[in-house]
Amino acid sequence: MDSFPHRPTWAEIDLPALIHNLRQAEQFCLPHQRALTVVKADAYGHGAVPVTNCFRQAGVRDFAVASLEEALELRTAGIDDALLVLGGCYPGQEQAFIEHNLMPALLDPQSALRLSAEAERYNCQISVHLKVDSGMGRVGFLPDQLRDFLPQLQQLKGLNIVGLMSHLACADELDSGVTLQQLERFRAVQLMLKEAGIDPADIHISNSAGLSGWDVPEATLVRPGIMLYGGLPGPDFSNRLDLQPVMHLRSCISQLRTLPAGSGVSYGHNFHTARETRVAVLPIGYADGYNRLFSNCGQGILHGQKVPLIGRVCMDWIMFDVTDLPQTKVGDCITLLGSADGLSILGDDWAQQLNTISYEVFCRIGSRVPRRYAEGTT
């Protein structure tokens, strides 16, 4: 076994795979469009600072996070590129946005008034991206609300509206009329702003599904997230996107035991060995994001084969039946997510089994699992 300063469980982050996926996203861009990479939620669990630095080295200069806290983590790490804070600016955060040169998504009239007043107090302007709710039904100005607010907005001398943005609700459904309707509303807002003399430099609406499924030629930015991390935006995208898994969750066998036939394994004894069984025990569990729903049905990759998880997933331990791989020894590494030996267990595979989306799979890999950054992996 390699020697570890921590228990032998880690998530390997394959940086070349990340770049490969970025180039995939960029292939959908028109020459005047650039990628603003979404690194919120700790870069979907992959580690915000190293991932952002990797994208910077690959030429990206625009990033999006969810909150002021996430933005400050990047600023503290010396990342001084354009940072869009998708969650907007909460009361009391205005000064920090100005001080750290952060761009909030402008979600409502109240934050527009607060931000402008604070910027004027500092005798400066704050750059903002005006967010329009074109049909997501979540946050942002509704088109009518924006029309009513426009005369006031035009007077807010502390704001520099550098971007106009919206978000797509159903872009992962390639035949959805909702996206067409959203694009129509978004374009109507663009016109309305133009007529009011507001001409943001950047226009953007497309997430991973949007950019790989829909043409928005007037956009200057696209906002890929999940596809960068190797997850499909939806089942219809497997033929369109050639993505590589980025996160490889691995754990080494810490105990190897032989249990007689008929032994109960793990809490509840809802698994009993049918034969004399070699059981490999790994130091990882649901506290690390290895979902308890994998009890008796998870899989791992060991010595070029898939091995079955047996018994219930515990908080800190899981067990595999490795009887059919007699060469197995303590310290051997089992891959739980990602790829090894030419086999893979993708985030989308987990998502399907868990009835969720790969976004949640990656985000839930816990902070107890160290991320190791690799220049290339199997």
Q: Which residues are catalytic?
A: 40, 267
Residues of span 158-197 touching ligand PLP by CB under 6 A: 167
Residues of span 126-145 touching ligand PLP by CB under 6 A: none
Least distance in angstroms from the C-beta of 300 to ligand PLP: 27
Least distance in angstroms from the C-beta of 343 to ligand PLP: 26
The length of the chain, given as a count of residues: 378
Is residue 233 close enough to count as binding ligand PLP by CB under 6 A? yes
Is residue 60 close enough to count as binding ligand PLP by CB under 6 A? no
Is residue 301 close enough to count as binding ligand PLP by CB under 6 A? no
Is residue 112 close enough to count as binding ligand PLP by CB under 6 A? no
Is residue 347 close enough to count as binding ligand PLP by CB under 6 A? no
Least distance in angstroms from the C-beta of 337 to ligand PLP: 18
Least distance in angstroms from the C-beta of 36 to ligand PLP: 8
| Total Cβ atoms within 10 A of residue 196 | 14
DSSP helix/strand/coil, 116: helix
Looking at 9, 208, 291, 328, which residue binds ligand PLP (CB under 6 A)?
Answer: 208
Q: Tokens 């603003």 identify what position?
A: 36
Looking at 86, 161, 301, 345, which residue binds ligand PLP (CB under 6 A)?
Answer: 86
Looking at 24, 33, 207, 377, which residue binds ligand PLP (CB under 6 A)?
Answer: 207
Q: In angstroms, rounded to a whole number, what is the distance separating the alpha carbons of residues 53 and 199?
A: 31
List 258's β-bridge partners, or say none.
Answer: 278
Q: How far apart are the first and last CA of the chain?
A: 18
Closest CA to 10 of 283, 227, 217: 283
DSSP assignment of 23-85 equals: HHHHHTS-TT-EEEEE-HHHHHHT-HHHHHHHHHHTT--EEEESSHHHHHHHHHTT--SEEEE
Residue 86 or residue 183: which is nearer to ligand PLP going by CB?
86
Least distance in angstroms from the C-beta of 315 to ligand PLP: 29
- Which distant-in-sequence residues (6+ apart) come within 8 Å of 174 by Cβ? 213, 236
Binding site for ligand PLP (CB under 6 A): 38, 86, 167, 207-209, 223-226, 233
